Amino acid sequence: MRRVLPVAVAAAALCFSQLPASTATVTAGGVSSGLSTAIAPQQVRTKFALASAAYGSRVDGGSVPANSRDTAYQRIGCTNVAGIDLNNFEADLVIPGLGKAEGVRTRVWTEKKGDTVSSFSKHSIARLVIGSTPLGSLEIQGISSLSQAFNKNGRFGATATNEIARIVLKGAGQPVQEFAIPAPGQTLTIPGVASISLGKTVKKVTRSFARVSANVIDIKVIPLGTRARVAQTNAAIQGGIKQGVFKGYAAGVEAKGLADNLKIGRTPLALVPCPGTNGETRGKDIAGVELGDLGSLKSVAAGVNATNAPRIAQGTVAGRVVGASLFDGRLQINGVIGVANVKRERGVLSRNSKGSTVLEIIADGQSYTIPAVGSLEIPGLVKLQSALKFPTKNGLKVVGLRVTVLDGSGAVIDLGVASLAIRPGVRPGT
C-alpha cells in the first residue's frame, strides 16, 4: 500500500493544498513518448530571486568513484524569471556503491500563478534495486520528493512531501517479502543487505526568504560500506530583486596546471547574493596560500558590494593579493588588485575595471613595469599580463595579474580575480 511519509511542512499559515493546481498533474510517470501538445508557460520577470535543484542519489564511503555523485542532477541557478522548466531523465542508471535505478526523473521549475510566485523541485525513481546477495535483491519502489518555496500575497512559505510506495526483498525461488516502511526516526535493517531510514526535511522561512531541502531515503549498503541519500529536492525564493539580478564573485587567486596536478580553486571565494548586499561590503581574507613548488602568496582577500534600487543596480567586486614570492624568491609581486565595476541604470549596462592595479614586480632583483597595452615576458621564467578584461553579456570579468609559467608545464596563476554580471530585474512600475 502506498504511503505518504509524514514530512510535509508548511509556513506562513499556508498549506500544501494551496499549491498551484498545475502541480497535481506532475506525476512520477512523466511525459509520454509521443509529441507533446502542451503550450510552454509564459516567462515573466518577478521581484524574487528563485533557485531550485534536485538529484537522484549521492553516495559516500566505500570505494565509490568520484563521478558517482549527484546522479540525474538538474538545477535552476539564481533567476527572477517565472516560467522556466528544466527536466532530466534516465531510463536505467547504474549507481556505483548503491545499485540500479529505473525511471529516474528530475524536474525543476519556476512559476507565477495569480499572487503566488514559486520555485519547485521534483524527483522520482520508479524502482531502485540495491545489489544482489544470497538473500536476494532489495527493491524500493515509487520513490518521490517534491519541494516548493513560494511567496503568496507577500508572505513566504515552504512545503515538502516525500513518498515511498513499497520495500520488497526478492529471493530466488522464494516468495516476495514486503517490509513496512520505517516510521520517522526508525531504521529498517535487512541483515547482510542494507539499513534504510527516512531522510530529513529542512526548511527555513523568514520575512525575506524561504528555502527547503528534502531527502526521501537514507540507505547504508552493508556489503559495500557505503551510504546513499536518495531523491533530494531543494527550492528557494528570496525578495529584493529590483533593477537587477546579480551574479558574481571575487577571489584572491585561482590557479591550474601546477605541479603534481595541484589545482587552486577560487581562494578565498566571496559570492554576490542574487539581490545584492544592500550596499554592505562582504569579504573574506586568509593569511596565505601555498602554490606547491612554485612558491606562496601572502594576505589574500576577496570582497563584494552590490546595491539594488528601483532604477539602478550597481556593484563592485575585487580580489587582492598583497604579496607573491615565486621560483624560490626570484620573482616578487606586490599589491595586486583586480576590480570589476558594473552598473545597470534604467536598463542600460556599463562596466569597467577601475581600481585594478599591480604595484610592484621584481625579477632577479630588477624592477619591471607592465606596458599599458600588451604584456611583459621575462624570458625562461614567466609571462605577465595585467588588468585582463573579459566582457560578458551582462557584465565583466577582470584578472588583476595573470602569471603564465614558461617551463612548458602550462601552469597559470590568476591573481586578483573579479567577476560580476547584472541581469535585468523588474521594470519600474511593475
Number of structural domains, the chain? Answer: 2
pLDDT of residue 322: 97
| The last residue of a domain, from among 238, 263, 284 | 238
pLDDT of residue 427: 64
192 and 283 co-located in one domain: no
377 and 392 co-located in one domain: yes
For the cut 90, the answer to whether the pLDDT of residue 12 exceeds it is no
| The last residue of a domain, from among 238, 258, 277 | 238
198 and 314 co-located in one domain: no
| Predicted confidence (pLDDT) per residue in 375-395, tens digit | 888 888 999 999 999 999 999
| Whole-prediction pTM | 0.73
| Predicted confidence (pLDDT) per residue in 336-377, tens digit | 999 999 999 988 999 999 999 999 999 999 998 887 656 888
Contact 118, 23 (CB under 8 A): no
The answer to the question of residue 429 being in a domain is: no
Exposure string of 45-68, with b = 16+ CB inside 10 Å and e = fewer, is bbebbbbbbbbbbbbeeeebeeeb
Residue 132 vs residue 181, higher pLDDT: 181
Q: Alpha carbon 133 to chain centroid distance?
A: 37
227 and 259 co-located in one domain: no
The answer to the question of residue 352 being in a domain is: yes
CA angle 149–24–58, rounded 5-degree value: 55
Q: CA nearest 219: which of 18, 59, 32, 352?
A: 59
Exposure string of 341-362, with b = 16+ CB inside 10 Å and e = fewer, is bbbbeeeebebebebbbbeebe
160 and 271 co-located in one domain: no
Provide the Cα torsion 223, 224, 228, 230; round to 10°.
Answer: -60
Report the pLDDT averaged over residues 78-106.
90
The answer to the question of residue 93 being in a domain is: yes
Segments forming the whole domain that contains residue 315 = 244-424
Whole-number percent of the chain with pLDDT over 70: 84
Largest CA distance in the chain: 83
Determine the Cα–Cα distance for residues 314 and 308; give it in Å rounded to an integer: 7
78 and 120 co-located in one domain: yes
| The last residue of a domain, from among 238, 261, 279 | 238
272 and 391 co-located in one domain: yes
Determine the Cα–Cα distance for residues 176 and 374; give it in Å rounded to an integer: 73
pLDDT of residue 262: 63
pLDDT of residue 70: 63
Provide the Cα torsion 173, 175, 181, 187; round to 10°.
Answer: -50
